[in-house]
Amino acid sequence: MTDNKARYVPGHGLLAGRSAVVTAAAGSGIGGATARRLLEEGASVVLGDAHATRLRETVAALGARFGTDRVAGLPCDVTREAEVAALLDLAEERHGGLDTLVNNAGLGGTADLADMTDEQWHAVLDTSLTGTFRCTRAALRRMRAAGRGGALVNNASVLGWRAQRGQAHYAAAKAGVMALTRCAAVEAAAYGVRVNAVAPSLAAHPHLARTTTPELLAELARREAYGRPAEPWEVANVIVFLASDYSSYMTGETVSVSSQHP
């Protein structure tokens, strides 16, 4: 049997000279991996995250590696419109504009629908779907005015297509992100902005373990063709592709980042 471990691919300058913003980008999850991959591809990056301490540590680490002139961060809760605006303003001030937005912020949880409270439902929808809407709206307004094109990449989930017990709120939010992606893409094409999404199935990061059980994670991993979760940077690779000119004819698409085939 061949080794199913992935080989890290070095950067190729796909985003050299571009300005990017990533939400929920602190720490070791998909957002943090995406920020690193964007930097490795030559972009200057502004990171947003609701966790100020973790964000500060991530910005310091990336700044030490890639240069403090290319990395900045600002605490941002995507449920707060003023904080979203401030995050995008920072990208314009520090890096001369906005070329790429990665909407990574999301909130999970597990609750059977019959037992789910309104508060649980609204918390997941407000962050995962409405937060993506707020960031997308703010970015498209800026990109339309600037007239330089750009790319948005949203983080959806295979649960936007598939059913899983206890995930009605999260699945509904992610299906909404897919629909939002398609509609935004049709509108933004007129001013040269592409809008796509990724739909990971299972990516290994510490935050996931806090929202589900080890038994379920093991079962989900067994369903994958490789018998393991994706590394966060494997999802980030696809995000980079969608942000780059290699996907110049793609818009309104949701790309599954999964080895699970029901």
Nearest 5°: the CA angle 207, 175, 159 is 50
The CATH homologous superfamily of the domain defined by 19-250: NAD(P)-binding Rossmann-like Domain (3.40.50.720)
- Residue 6 is predicted with a pLDDT of 83
Which of 82, 72, 76, 13 is closest to 46 using CA atoms?
72
Give the pLDDT band of residue 207 (cuts 50, 70, 90).
low
For residue 127, give every residue at least 6 positions away whose Cβ sits within 8 Å of its Cβ, in sequence order, or none.
Answer: 78, 79, 105, 106, 107
CA 153 from centre of chain: 7
- Residue 260 is predicted with a pLDDT of 72
Task: List, for residues 26-39, the tens digit of each pLDDT value.
Answer: 998 999 999 999 99
- Residue 225 is predicted with a pLDDT of 63
Structure tokens at 47: 């990171």
- As a whole-number percent, the residues of the chain with pLDDT over 70 amount to 89
Catalytic residue numbers read 170
Q: What rounded mean pLDDT belongs to the chain?
A: 92
Only one residue has tokens 């991530």, namely: 58
Whole-angstrom distance, CA of residue 235 vs CA of residue 60 = 23
Phi, psi angle pair for 193, to nearest 5°: -110, 130
Q: Is pLDDT of 205 > 80? A: no
Whole-angstrom distance, CA of residue 208 vs CA of residue 224 = 17
Which of 240, 118, 260 is closest to 200 using CA atoms?
260
Structure tokens at 234: 């494997």
Alpha-carbon distances of 75 from 104, 126, 204, rounded to whole Å: 14, 18, 24
- Tell me the average pLDDT across 221-230: 68
**CB burial of residue 160 (10 Å; 0-12, 13-18, 19+):** buried
Structure tokens at 167: 């995930």
Q: Is pLDDT of 1 > 60? A: no
Task: List, for residues 92-106, the tens digit of each pLDDT value.
Answer: 999 999 999 999 999
SS3 state of residue 173: helix
- Residue 2 is predicted with a pLDDT of 47
Structure tokens at 221: 């991993």
The reported pTM is: 0.92
Query: H helices of the chain, where?
Result: 30-40, 52-66, 81-95, 118-125, 131-146, 168-188, 206-209, 214-223, 232-243
Q: 130-139, 204-213, 250-259: lowest mean pLDDT where?
A: 204-213
Q: Is pLDDT of 233 > 80? A: yes
Report yes or no: 216 and 210 within 8 Å, Cβ to Cβ.
no
Task: List, for residues 70-121, the tens digit of each pLDDT value.
Answer: 999 999 999 999 999 999 999 999 999 999 999 999 999 999 999 999 999 9
